[in-house]
Amino acid sequence: MPLRRRPQLLRNQGNSCGMWSRQAREGYSAIGYQIHTGLQHSIIRPRQPNCLPLDQVTLPQKLQEAGYATHMVGKWHLGFYKKECLPTRRGFDTYFGSLTGSVDYYTYDSCDGPGLCGYDLHEGETVAWGRGGKFSTHLYTQRVRKILAAHDPRQPIFIFLSFQAVHTPLRPPKGYIYPYRGMGNVARRKYAATVSVVDEAVRNVTYALRKYGYYRNSVIIFSTDNGGQPFAGGSNWPLRGRKGTYWEGGVRGLGFVHSPLLRRRRRVSRELVHITDWYPTLVSLAGGNVSQSDGLDGHDVWPAISEGKESPRREILHNIDPLHARARHGSLRHGFRLWDTAVQAAIRVGDWKLLTGDPGHGDWIPPQTLANFPGRWWNLERRADVRRSVWLFNVTADPYERHELSARRPDVVRQLLARLAHHNRTAVPVRYPGEDPRANPELHGGAWGPWADDEEEDDVWDRAYPRKSRNKKQRKKCRLCKLRSFFRKLNTRIMSNRI
């Protein structure tokens, strides 16, 4: 096949879109929505015997079939309890990065609780001891440039560059903080500096593509993976909510596509695109074969991106999480007997977005530069009906989710609840196993890594994890947890008010 029809692909993910970063990585790698992978609930903890389903063909595996060399650099966070779960077993020829969800930018230490810390920097399937000390964004950029320098441009190549930045804890190099010294908020200052490092990295990778002869036939995709965390310097203003919520501030992401192959350039597209669309889009662009018979939830959106055509996507199932704490005032009755509104779920169909259960904190948090903005914006969330378990918004006309319309448009509510019920009938059981003590890094030389044998049979793949009834002691402990949670939320509000 002529090279011009098999462009080089570079996908860069800095920090759409899921409510958590793991969900976004899963979305680009796997064939469908979270309800079809069993990873609907929360994130994969370092000590959980869980990972991306082994029976699903990943994006890099499909690209390998199409003749591409595949490389991954950066944050994995899709499970590693078995070697079969590692990036090099899921379609990448090489891997360099961290397996857990969060590490120190310099030491590459990752903690999952008091006394449960370990080193997390890996080269392929081995621990990359002695590589710490350099800021991760610089280290990962350096690796990508080495890959491009050593590769033959005549063979198509796919690189997934998954920067740790701008994930907490933020520790940007001092030289990058200086231009933002005038910012009064320290968290915002560090955040801006960390973003500047990412900007520089994108420039350097693009320069390497030009230098080594890839650029003219390359497609560069840059995307966020979830909303910002306001108390850590991020900002989703004027969108509502934050990372970890289903409000637009948690799930609406910005990104760009840069390529000499684009037919219509220098424009903004507002077409509907979901993180699962990258799988069929990139496989098709690479000359591979994909079809809906593969169980795909995504669409090929390249004509919409390159030519400005209408996106084939009309609907996004953000998620259905049956294990999330149920909304106190939700019920099947409130859902027209179609859907239990106590269950956390979110869906968009056309202009309409519906949320049920507990969608997460729904406040509007002005960034540090708008600290003196009128207080009425800050108080909007406080006037919300805490007894509500259904929200409806026209997010085309009202992207900031200020005007709740469920009472005015019960017909639309009914339609979207029916769509949730339809999707839920195709859902697989949730896999969210308990933590395995064998994962403790102290048992593995002080580093995180696989701890279970590949032949080991686990029941985590074949059963759901129902909630167990709590005894009196557990209920008391739960009340203490709620009290601690209240003070954490209070602290979050106080810190958010400074941003």
**Per-residue pLDDT tens for 148-158?**
999 998 899 99
Same structural domain, 323 and 306: no
* Amino acid of residue 249: G
The whole-number average pLDDT for the span 96-105 is 96
Average pLDDT, the chain: 85
Which residue, of 424, 444, 473, is where some domain finishes?
Answer: 424
Query: How confident is residue 16, by pLDDT bands cut at 50, 70 and 90?
Result: low
Structure confidence by residue, pLDDT tens digits, 247-299: 999 999 888 899 999 998 888 888 999 999 999 999 999 999 887 556 789 99
Same structural domain, 254 and 397: no
Q: Are 86 and 95 in contact (CB under 8 A)?
A: yes
Could you tell me the residue range of the domain that residue 343 belongs to?
316-424
Q: Are 281 and 298 in contact (CB under 8 A)?
A: yes
The per-residue pLDDT for 385 is: 59
Same structural domain, 229 and 171: yes
Residue 479: pLDDT over 70: no
Give the C-alpha separation, 146 to 168, whole Å.
27
Please indicate, yes or no, if residue 396 is contained in any of the structural domains. yes
The per-residue pLDDT for 488 is: 43
The whole-number average pLDDT for the span 4-30 is 50
Instruction: Give the chain's domain count.
Output: 2
Residue 13: pLDDT over 50: no
Please indicate, yes or no, if residue 238 is contained in any of the structural domains. yes
The per-residue pLDDT for 184 is: 82
Same structural domain, 338 and 272: no
Higher pLDDT, 254 or 94: 94
Query: How confident is residue 378, by pLDDT bands cut at 50, 70 and 90?
Result: low
| Lowest mean pLDDT, pick from 21-25, 211-215, 411-415 | 21-25
Please indicate, yes or no, if residue 494 is contained in any of the structural domains. no
The whole-number average pLDDT for the span 310-323 is 95
Give the C-alpha separation, 196 to 129, whole Å.
28
The per-residue pLDDT for 8 is: 52
Which residue, of 291, 312, 333, is where some domain finishes?
Answer: 312
State percent of the chain over pLDDT 70.
81
State percent of the chain over pLDDT 90.
64
The whole-number average pLDDT for the span 122-140 is 96
Peptide bond just before 169 cis, omega within 30 deg: yes
Give the C-alpha separation, 395 to 219, whole Å.
30
pTM of the entire predicted model: 0.85
The whole-number average pLDDT for the span 3-23 is 46
Please indicate, yes or no, if residue 446 is contained in any of the structural domains. no
Residue 38: pLDDT over 80: yes
Please indicate, yes or no, if residue 289 is contained in any of the structural domains. yes
Same structural domain, 74 and 116: yes
* Amino acid of residue 452: A
Please indicate, yes or no, if residue 478 is contained in any of the structural domains. no
Which residue, of 312, 334, 353, is where some domain finishes?
Answer: 312
Residue 42: pLDDT over 50: yes
The whole-number average pLDDT for the span 462-470 is 40
Same structural domain, 351 and 413: yes
Residue 131: pLDDT over 70: yes
The whole-number average pLDDT for the span 226-255 is 90
Residue 99: pLDDT over 90: yes
The per-residue pLDDT for 369 is: 53
Q: What is the CATH number of the domain that holds 134?
A: 3.40.720.10
Same structural domain, 306 and 414: no
Structure confidence by residue, pLDDT tens digits, 482-496: 454 444 444 434 333
Residue 361: pLDDT over 50: yes
Q: What are phi and psi of 268, to 5 degrees?
A: -105, 130
The per-residue pLDDT for 231 is: 82
Same structural domain, 344 and 419: yes
Q: What is the CATH number of the domain that holds 353?
A: 3.30.1120.10
Tokens of 17: 């879109």
